[in-house]
Chains A and B, each alone.
Chain A
Amino acid sequence: MSGTLESEMSESLHSGFSSGMTRRALVTRLVVASGALAVLPSVSSALAPAGAVERIAVRQGATGRGPVVGFHMDQPYLDYSGTAEPYRPARGLRSAEPLAALSEAELRCRIGYL
């Protein structure tokens, strides 16, 4: 499995990472670049829907997926590994989000009691 992963990573390195980069170097660079990844499989499972970890493991050798946008700690990052799941909004409408931009005074003026 690890050999397959390594070769797949090599295929995706053309879009930003120098060719010949090792898996260890890639992981290190991703951590620096996004503050996001420590161990790829664990991040993939964290971003994936529950129960999808096993499916990811199977796909790792076969997808050839291009870069996808993921999120960690509410910050977006571009995952080049081909193993991350594309970001999908969490279940929930986040309908309180417009309040985030309001100051305390604006909140009281617009909403009154929250």
Chain B
Amino acid sequence: MADFSNDPTRTGFFAPQRFEADVYDCEVIGKVPSDISGAFVRVGGEWFYPPKFEDDAILNSDGYISMFRFRNGRVDYKGRWIRTQRFEKNLAAGRQLYGYYRNPYTDDPEVRDPARPHLRTVSNTAPIAHAGKLFSLKEDGLPHRIDPRTLETIGPYDFDGQWKSQTFTAHPKIDPVTGEMIALGYQATGLATDDLFVYTIDAAGKVKREVRLKVPYVSVIHDMAITQKHVLIPFGGYVTSRERLESGKIHWGWDASKPSYIGVLPRDGDAKDVRWFKGPERCMMHVFNAYDDGRKIVLYAPFFESNFFPFFPPIDGSPWDASKARAYVRRITIDLSSRADTWKEEILWPFPVQDLGRVDTRFMSLETRYGFTGYADPERPFDEARAGNVRGRVTNCYGRFDFATGRLSTYFAGPTHSLQECCFVPRKGSREEGDGYLIGVASNFAEMRSELVIADAQRLEEGDIARVILPFRSSAQIHGIWVPEEEMTFA
């Protein structure tokens, strides 16, 4: 039986939800543009059973996939648990069998299998659509294929046996020019191994190329970037080891003495061609985009100063430092013609942002002008009387960050709302970067429900074009993608 009585957020907006949902023809405030046709697919984590350890990471919660399906100015909603092997085993047992985040040594004996840690994935991080298939992803296991019509889980997918890594990144990148998907798997041969496999999967979904690398040290490689010529592999700070795991600790600790790295691998290169550029202490979780500029590579990324996650504690026993867990929009320039093994870094805006950076994906790997992400504007009002007291911790704005001019355009969600990651939807028929809509799910704390906001990405200050109303709280989203109608067969 599920028992959440020890959870301090068991009441209120973040209380466990535990249900699956279908809402047909959702209530809408305003008018949904009829040229938006396709689906906004979201993946996040919810605890179906409470964690075995109270100090476990929220990143260890069960995967949940949901979809706002747009057609003819109407929107349907669907939400389903991702039926991983782990979910099914827990459900059969009626309790949580699995221990700490990515530590199989802490699992119950009947499911403990440190030699095959990928079997305990919760697949809770991001969706991706490629070659007509829809997947949910988490970096500690294989992709789980999802039926786009029903959101039912089909199962783990290894690209017809051609994907050899035990793991698959949460953030593969799709080249809009070639249709290829570039992806990687780290800890590719097992727990705490330093093997990194990088793959190119062609537009038809077949593995075309594999490169096997060794990393400078074993760390989180959560995201990656591509240019037309290179694959970028950023990481830093987090460390683990087989000994750490065998001692029963959570997978990652933070080592502030470790440098950050960005690996640069030519897309047509081999392992001998990779260059590891080194930088200061950084927590490198997500990127906006990268592109080639002659012999230079420009990377835009909202990297943190230091450790963002308090549940991955400093290994020296020092307390987690919230003041350093701040992400800033950065421009990183790597000069391939230089013998130096570092990069130039600029902070483009002086205030912290949500590190969930997004771009117009038609420009992935190409020169990019706009980045989109959420941030907290403390000057905006927050109605505590109606929403409750969040002590200022609210993502109340989406921003369009103009990398060329430094201009910031802002969408404000309202005084009782907080925003999840945004997503850019191109306007039908347009080719101009940033011409389209910015969408994302807002938590309405006053009404205790979720709302999908839709704004014109070129007129964010004007507010919503429409809000799609759910009569409940939707599942928490980590990442979402826009899947155009022509790329997928939906119901």
Contact = CB atoms under 8 A, between A and B. Distances in A.
Contacts of A99: 9, 12, 14, 388-391, 393
Interface in B346-390: 354, 356, 383-390
Max chain B CB contacts within 10 Å: which of A74, A107, A108?
A108
Contacts of A101: 8
A72 to B, nearest CB: 12
B8 A102 contact: yes
Contacts of B385: 90, 92, 94
Nearest to A93: B448
Interface residues of B, number: 44
Contacts of A54: none
A27 to B, nearest CB: 25
B268 interface: no
B46 to A, nearest CB: 11
Given A95-B12, A99-B391, A104 B58 contact: no
Contact of A114 (B388, B418, B478): B418
A96 B387 contact: yes
Interface string B293-332: 0000000000000001111000000001010010000000
B100 interface: no
Contacts of B325: 104, 108
Interface in A63-105: 74, 90-102, 104-105
Contacts of A111: 9, 14, 58, 476
Nearest to B416: A92
A109 interface: yes
A40 B186 CA distance: 68
B9 A92 contact: no
Nearest to A102: B8
Contacts of B421: 113
Contacts of A90: 385-386
A93 to B, nearest CB: 5
Given A102-B8, A111-B9, A113-B421, 12 more contacts: A92-B386, A92-B387, A92-B416, A95-B13, A95-B445, A97-B12, A99-B9, A99-B388, A105-B320, A105-B322, A109-B55, A114-B390
Interface of A: 74, 90-102, 104-114
18 contacts: A90-B386, A91-B446, A92-B386, A94-B389, A95-B388, A96-B388, A96-B390, A98-B388, A99-B9, A102-B9, A105-B310, A107-B393, A108-B58, A108-B310, A109-B310, A111-B14, A112-B476, A113-B476
Interface of B: 7-9, 11-14, 45, 55, 57-59, 308-311, 320, 322, 325, 354, 356, 383-391, 393-395, 416, 418, 420-421, 443, 445-448, 476, 478
